[in-house]
Amino acid sequence: MIAKNYPPLIIRKYLYLKTVLGQLIQTRGQLGVSRRGCSSMNPHLADCGETTGHYQGHNPIMRLSTPLFALLAVVLSAADRPNILFILTDDQGYGDVSAHGNPILKTPNLDKLRGESVRFTDFQVSPTCAPTRSALLTGRHEFKNGVTHTILERERMALGAATLTEQLQKAGYRTGIFGKWHLGDEAEYQPNKRGFDEVFIHGAGGIGQSYPGSCGDVPGNSYYGPTILHNGRFVKTSGYCTDEFFAQATKWIEGEVAAKRPFLAWVATNAPHSPYNARPEDAALYEGKGLGKDTENFFGMLHNIDQNVGKILAKLEALGVAQDTLVVFMNDNGGTAGVKVFNAGMRAAKGSPYMGGIRAISFWRLPGRFQPADVKALSAHVDFAPTILDLTGTTASATMQAQMEGRSLLPLLTAKVGQDVAWPDRTLFTHVGRWGNMLKGVDPEVGKYAQTSVRTARWHLVSAAPIPQPGQKAGGKKGKSPKSVAPAPQSPADIKQAQANWQLFDLSVDYGETTDVAAEHPEVVKDLIAKHDAWWKECRPLMVNENVAGPAENPFKVLYREQMRK
Ligand SMILES: [Ca+2]
C-alpha cells in the first residue's frame, strides 16, 4: 500500500503501452486502450507489487524503437502528470463548512468542491500548525522531523528530512508556495531550500508574529497590504492577505500553464487564524447573529477564503487545466473560533488530542479519475506525500522512502463508488507537544504522557494530562496559546513527568468521545499503551530542536532591515 513499493508509474505506462502495441502489431487488430480497462497494469491493485529493480533489470525503455518511443511520449498526456493545487487553511475546523452541517456559516464554493471530490471523513492531522505542515511534506510524524512546538526553534523542520516537493522538482514539476510556511525562518530552513521554486510567504506562524529566537515576521506586519518575502526579496502588497496569496498563486499558475510545465501550487492561508481580522464587508455578513466580534470576523475570513477558492477553481477551468489538476483542500488542525457554533459533534478543539483537535477536512478532486464519494477509511496527513508521489509516478529518493510512514491513498481515490478496497487497520499517534521551555534544560520526557493519543480505526486511547511547563506560572502568557491547550501545572512540585491519565473511546459508536470504556477493554488499553511507548522511543533521538538557542534577533527582521537600507 506504500508508494515506495511500486515501480514508477511512467515505466509501468511504457510497459503497458508496449504490450498493447505489440499485440496490435501481431494481430493487426484495432487499438482500444482504456484507462479503466487496463486492470492488469493498474498500479493501485495489490497484484502489481513488482519492484523498480525488476523493471530496470529488463530495461524495457531501452528496447523500444525510436518511433515507438515517440508515439508513447505523445500518449503519456498531462493526465499522467497532473498538476496539483493544494489549499491548506489555518485554524479552520472540520465543522466550519456549511455542507458539514454548520447552521450559520455559508461556504458555497467549498460545498461545491466537496460535491465534486472524494471526501475522507476520518482524516487526521496534528493538533497545531507547524506539526501538520511538516507531516504533509515528509510523510512522517512531526516529532520525527524535530517539530514538537510551533515556536522557540521547535517549529523548524529538521534539515535531514527529505520533502515531497524536492522529489517533485527532480521529476520535472515546478513547485510554488503562497502564504504560510511556518517550518523555520532561518535561511537554511526556508522553502527555497526545501523544494520550492517559487516562494511568496510571510514569516513565523502568522502575519506580524514575533517570538524569541528565529520565529518572527516582518516587524509590524498587517493583514492589510502585508509585506511578503518573494523569492528572497521583501515586497509590499496592497490587498488583504488571503486575496494577495491567491492572486499570486493564480498568476504563477498562469505562467506554468503557458509554459506547459506540470506544477504543484501550495496555497497556505494564514486565515482564519487569530487575530480575527476580516475584511469589514466579510465580517458584516455575520453581524447581528449574536456570535460576538471574534466569530463574526472568523466567519468573515472564511467567507473570503471561500470566495477565493471559487475564483481559483474558475481560473483552472478558464485555463483549460481543470481536468488535469488534482485539487486538495484541507485544514491544518482542529477548530477554534467556530466550535461554539458547530463542532460536528466532536470533543475539544485545536491543541487537543481528542478528535476535535485533529480531525480535518480532506477533499480530493481530479475530474474523470476520482468519483465523488465519502471514504471512511482511517487516513491522515502523513498519507499526503506518498499519495502525490504515487499519483504523479514520482520515484522518491532513498531518504524519502525510508522516512515515509504514510500510505498512498490512491487505491481509495480511484475506487468506484461502492467498491471495496483493502485497507488494513493501522495505528496513528497524536501528541500536542509544547512541553517545557527551551533554554531551561527541559527533558522532553516530562511530556511523554501529556496530551497524547493512539488511534486505530475503532479505538482512541487518550491521555489528556496537563502539559508540564517548568519555570512558568499557571496559564502561561495570556493570548500566546489556544485556550484549548491544557493549563500549566500550578506549582514547581508539578515539574515532573506527567502521569498518564488514559481514557479509551470506541469511535465506532462514540465519535464524540463521551464515554470512557477503558475498564471494559483492558487488553486494548495495554496493547495501545505499548505501541505508544514504542513510538515515543522511536521519536526521541529525532527530536533535534529541544533546548536549542535561536538567534538573538528574528532573521526576517534582520533581512528586512538590510534590504530597506539598500
Ligand atoms: Ca493552525
Asked whether the predicted pLDDT for residue 499 surpasses 60, the reply is yes
- Exposed / middle / buried, residue 491 (Cβ in 10 Å: 0-12, 13-18, 19+): exposed
Distance CA(369)–CA(280), nearest Å, equals: 40
Q: Quote the DSSP letter at residue 520.
A: G
- Comparing 13 with 151, the larger pLDDT belongs to 151
Q: Which of these ranges, 262-271, 387-396, 445-454, has the smallest mean pLDDT?
A: 445-454
- Comparing 362 with 490, the larger pLDDT belongs to 362
Q: Give me the pLDDT at residue 441, please.
A: 73
Q: Give me the pLDDT at residue 61, please.
A: 35
Asked whether the predicted pLDDT for residue 444 surpasses 50, the reply is yes
Q: Give me the pLDDT at residue 252, please.
A: 98
Average pLDDT, the chain: 85
Residue type, 28: R
Distance CA(254)–CA(231), nearest Å, equals: 18
Name the phi and psi angles at 388, rounded to 5. Answer: -65, -40
pLDDT digits (tens, 9 = 90+) for 122-157: 999 999 999 999 999 999 999 999 999 999 999 999
Asked whether the predicted pLDDT for residue 57 surpasses 50, the reply is no
Distance CA(167)–CA(199), nearest Å, equals: 17
Q: What is the mean pLDDT of residues 110-131?
A: 98
Name the pLDDT band for 48 (thresholds 50, 70, 90). very low
Q: Quote the DSSP letter at residue 212.
A: S
pLDDT digits (tens, 9 = 90+) for 349-384: 999 999 999 999 999 999 999 999 999 999 999 999
Name the pLDDT band for 79 (thresholds 50, 70, 90). low
Distance CA(95)–CA(478), nearest Å, equals: 26
Q: What is the mean pLDDT of residues 422-442?
A: 88
- Beta-strand relationship, 227-230 and 233-236: antiparallel
For 520, other C-beta atoms within 10 Å of its C-beta total: 11
Asked whether the predicted pLDDT for residue 481 surpasses 50, the reply is no
Q: How far is the CA of 58 from the centre of ligand 1 (A)?
A: 48
Cell, residue 406: 504514510
Asked whether the predicted pLDDT for residue 474 surpasses 60, the reply is no
Find out whether 18 and 64 touch, Cβ atoms under 8 Å.
Answer: yes
Q: What is the mean pLDDT of residues 79-92?
A: 95
| Domain topology for 84-413 | Alkaline Phosphatase, subunit A (3.40.720)
Could you give the C-alpha distances from 27 to 15, 31, 41, 66, in angstroms and in order? 18, 10, 21, 21
Q: How far is the CA of 305 from the centre of ligand 1 (A)?
A: 15
Distance CA(178)–CA(474), nearest Å, equals: 37
Q: CATH number of 428-542: 3.40.50.2020, 3.30.1120.10, 3.30.300.30, 3.40.50.2000?
A: 3.30.1120.10
Q: Give me the pLDDT at residue 438, please.
A: 60
Q: How far is the CA of 99 from the centre of ligand 1 (A)?
A: 21
Cell, residue 65: 524503437
Share of the chain above pLDDT 70, in %: 80
Q: How far is the CA of 202 from the centre of ligand 1 (A)?
A: 15
Q: How far is the CA of 272 from the centre of ligand 1 (A)?
A: 9
Please count the CA atoms within 13 angstroms of the CA of 242 that sit on its side-chain side: 27
Q: Give me the pLDDT at residue 80, please.
A: 82
Q: How far is the CA of 516 from the centre of ligand 1 (A)?
A: 28
User: In whole angstroms, how large is the CA radius of gyration of the chain?
Assistant: 24
C-alpha of 507 from chain center:
23
Q: How far is the CA of 37 from the centre of ligand 1 (A)?
A: 42
Report the b/e string of 522-535 with b at 16+ CB within 10 A: eebbebbbeebeeb
Rounded to two decimals, the pTM is 0.85
Q: How far is the CA of 132 from the centre of ligand 1 (A)?
A: 8
Name the pLDDT band for 471 (thresholds 50, 70, 90). low
Q: Give me the pLDDT at residue 497, please.
A: 52
Q: What is the mean pLDDT of residues 330-348?
A: 98
Asked whether the predicted pLDDT for residue 344 surpasses 60, the reply is yes
Share of the chain above pLDDT 90, in %: 76
Q: Give me the pLDDT at residue 77, please.
A: 55
Asked whether the predicted pLDDT for residue 69 surpasses 60, the reply is no
Q: How far is the CA of 89 from the centre of ligand 1 (A)?
A: 8
What does the domain layout of the chain look like in residue ranges?
A: 3-76, 84-413, 428-542
Q: How far is the CA of 128 from the centre of ligand 1 (A)?
A: 5
Q: Give me the pLDDT at residue 439, please.
A: 66
Find out whether 315 and 251 touch, Cβ atoms under 8 Å.
Answer: no
For 302, other C-beta atoms within 10 Å of its C-beta total: 30
CA-closest candidate to residue 245, choices 211, 207, 197, 283: 207
Please count the CA atoms within 13 angstroms of the CA of 369 that sit on its side-chain side: 22
Distance CA(311)–CA(110), nearest Å, equals: 11
Asked whether the predicted pLDDT for residue 492 surpasses 60, the reply is no
Q: How far is the CA of 480 from the centre of ligand 1 (A)?
A: 13
- Comparing 478 with 451, the larger pLDDT belongs to 451
Asked whether the predicted pLDDT for residue 500 surpasses 90, the reply is no
Asked whether the predicted pLDDT for residue 41 surpasses 60, the reply is no
Q: Give me the pLDDT at residue 468, please.
A: 73
pLDDT digits (tens, 9 = 90+) for 148-186: 999 999 999 999 999 999 999 999 999 999 999 999 999
CA-closest candidate to residue 412, choices 117, 50, 135: 117
Q: How far is the CA of 333 from the centre of ligand 1 (A)?
A: 5
Q: Quote the DSSP letter at residue 322.
A: G
